[in-house]
Structure 1
Amino acid sequence: MSFSRGKSVRDFVARCFYVWLPVVDGLFLVFYGITGERGQLVAQAFDNEWTRWVGVVCMAVALIWVICAQATMGTAWRMGVDSRTRTELITTGPFALSRHPIYLGIRATILGQLLVVGTWPVLLIWALSELLVQIQVRFEEEHMFRLHAQRYADYCSRVRRWL
């Protein structure tokens, strides 16, 4: 993990994204799993079997995608921005399709969870996750520009942020 208990905006966003969001999401899922109480649905579309199956498929594909992306990164994988360690620029595998395939997988996982559960708490978790991931990737891109300069700029011109 490459974030601290510092007071910078970067550290705060990283703690929210990597610690507090998973804690809140996990507690909700445990509560849901134990009680079966989903809460009020966001819309009737979330009360359909096919919507839940699309969500399950989305989460399964996202899991495989994230595992492949993390394996491709190898020793360059970090949580957060690590300005102390110089890492190589990974541009192969899932990184040839997306500059942030791990975050893309996380986004797909939370979207899948929203499709499966479909309640207001999960909608709020999804919205917060989307906000935090958008901020975090910009911090990481800024770091990669400092680290890899023109090589990263060339990579950005070839590969989209998401897909």
Structure 2
Amino acid sequence: MSTDVIVSHFLAIFFTMIGVHYTCRSLGLRKRTGVSHIHYGAAVSKSWFVRWVFNLFRLLILAVTVARVFYPNVDAYLGVFPALYTPVVLWTGIGLLLCSFGLIDYVHSYMHTDWRSGIDADGKAQLLTQGPFRYCRNPLFAGVYIGQIGLFLALPSLFTLACLIIGAGMIAIQTRLEEAALRRTFGQAYERYCERAPRWFPRFGKAMGPGWQD
């Protein structure tokens, strides 16, 4: 079986299972806690807009990756970059997708019932500064970034490049909205946390130094 066929099947299965995993997780948390852990925000707000853009692209990615298994000619409409369509690049993309999933799943497990998707207007979320949050303020979004790069490399095309660029922009907007909400809720405690933990990528020397605990 060629690398191309293996990777196309992997992508279809991977994104199908991602959808199943997060749908079931969200339903299970709601059943356990009695509240929804997914927050869209007010209609037509920035947070609402970002959520729906993500939903649209998730559906498009799932539809495209599944369609490629049954109709390989779909690639002709995706604007594939032949120079990047090599086994090394494709396998690198698969590796990044797996790393992304592992990081995101770990952070979700660490957060447990504190996990929220979007801004919790009820203010019930607590400020997490330990575990993966010790090294950066947004480990979940960092994992999504890694996954977006992985998707582009596993299917190098104009379609996945658009997904990468638009997705990165949406994450940047949502990150600033969520950090602004945390500043309003936690005030100086969050400001002190920001001084120690970078937004995206760890500064290990500083993050692991003494005096981290509040």
- The normalised TM-score by structure 2 is 0.71
1:63 matched residue in structure 2: 101
Q: Is residue 38 of structure 1 aligned with residue 38 of structure 2?
A: no
CA contact (8 A) 2:110 2:131 kept: yes
Match of 1:6 among 8, 27, 43: 43
Superposition pairs of residues 12-31 of structure 1, within 5 angstroms? 12-17=49-54, 19-31=55-67
How far apart, in 1, do the equivalents of 2:188 and 2:41 lie?
29
Superposition pairs of residues 75-154 of structure 1, within 5 angstroms? 75-154=113-192
How far apart, in 1, do the equivalents of 2:43 and 2:173 lie?
17
How far apart, in 2, do the equivalents of 1:54 and 1:103 lie?
20
**Identity of paired residues, percent?**
23
Question: Offset of 1:5 from its aligned partner?
Answer: 6.4
SS in 1 for 2:44: coil
SS in 2 for 1:14: helix
- The normalised TM-score by structure 1 is 0.91
The amino acid that maps onto 1:108 is I
In structure 2, do the counterparts of structure 1 residues 146 and 38 end up closer, same or farther at CA, with 3 Å as the change threshold? same
How far apart, in 2, do the equivalents of 1:83 and 1:104 lie?
23
CA contact (8 A) 2:41 2:118 kept: no
Question: Offset of 1:52 from its aligned partner?
Answer: 1.0
SS in 1 for 2:129: coil
Aligned residues: 161
How far apart, in 2, do the equivalents of 1:2 and 1:63 lie?
22
Query: Unpaired runs of 5+ in structure 2?
Result: 1-37, 202-214
2:112 matched residue in structure 1: 74
> CA RMSD for the aligned pairs?
1.5
The amino acid that maps onto 1:42 is F
SS in 2 for 1:47: coil
Say which is worse superposed, 6-15 or 110-119, in terms of deviation.
Answer: 6-15
Query: Unpaired runs of 5+ in structure 1?
Result: none
Question: Offset of 1:53 from its aligned partner?
Answer: 1.3
CA contact (8 A) 2:123 2:185 kept: no
Question: Offset of 1:97 from its aligned partner?
Answer: 1.6
Higher RCO, 1 or 2 (CA under 8 Å, sep at least 6)? 1
- Superposed CA deviations along residues 2-56 of structure 1, whole A, max 9, x for unmatched, are 1156122221122222x22211221221222321232332361x22211111111
